[in-house]
Amino acid sequence: MTEQHTLLWESGQSAAPLPPLVDSSGVQAEVDAAWSRGTLSWEQLKQMPDLHGAMMETLRRYPVAGGHRARIARPLTLAGYRLEQGLDVEVAMTVPHFLEELYPNPMQFDIDRFRPPRNEHRKPGAYAPFGLGNHTCLGAGIAEVQLLVTMATLLSIYALQLDPPDYHLVIEEHPTPIPGNHFQVQVRERRLSSRPEGRI
């Protein structure tokens, strides 16, 4: 479900006409080049910075879990607030994803944020789509691989577009931000010819 949520956003960004992620970035070229070399391997995936950036930016901009519940084990004072033992708190760990001082123009979908020299995510607490601390997501690694492989597979088979192409994205909170009910992506073109025969 968490991966479906992320893929939904990522395919929406890939299909968005202005600016089209796939056409204006190297994502499609990377995907085509990788498949043209044969089966999609881990080595190939590590050499796809645009696809990786698109995945990371999707998880930053549209995090599945905005926060998590915690119970105060020992009393403490945090930023002037006294938190007593046993108190339930919500740790909104993805708030930093939207801070201008960490991510300039934070609402902008920008897949180059994570490349050197920018490395905007490389500050303590700046990037937490999989949580932070002792209970960080145990499936983060497998989730990332599945997201990369699924997007690379989809983009190698289909050219996507918004339906209708001029659809203006509406964001609804349920409670995490998801595309509104009328959000649809349609297949503009089947691109199976770009794939080595028989490989899915």
Does position 142 interact with ligand HEM (CB under 6 A)? The reply is yes
Instruction: Using the minimum distance from each CB to ligand HEM, give the nearer residue, 98 or 190.
Output: 98
Nearest to 62 by CA among 17, 119, 16, 123: 16
d(CA 179, CA 167): 11
Q: How far is the CB of 139 from ligand HEM (least distance, A)?
A: 2
Member of 135, 166, 168, 173 binding ligand HEM (CB under 6 A):
135
Does position 71 interact with ligand HEM (CB under 6 A)? The reply is no
Q: How many beta carbons lie within 10 A of that of residue 67, not counting itself?
A: 17
d(CA 177, CA 62): 6
Does position 25 interact with ligand HEM (CB under 6 A)? The reply is no
Instruction: Using the minimum distance from each CB to ligand HEM, give the nearer residue, 13 or 161.
Output: 13
Q: How far is the CB of 197 from ligand HEM (least distance, A)?
A: 31
Does position 102 interact with ligand HEM (CB under 6 A)? The reply is no
187 has which bridge partners?
160
Does position 12 interact with ligand HEM (CB under 6 A)? The reply is no
Is the preceding omega at residue 129 within 30 degrees of 0, hence cis? no
**The two structure tokens encoding residue 66:** 């905005």
d(CA 193, CA 43): 23
Number of residues assigned to the chain:
200
Does position 8 interact with ligand HEM (CB under 6 A)? The reply is no
Interface contacts to ligand HEM, rule CB under 6 A? 2-3, 6, 64-65, 68, 129-133, 135-139, 142-143
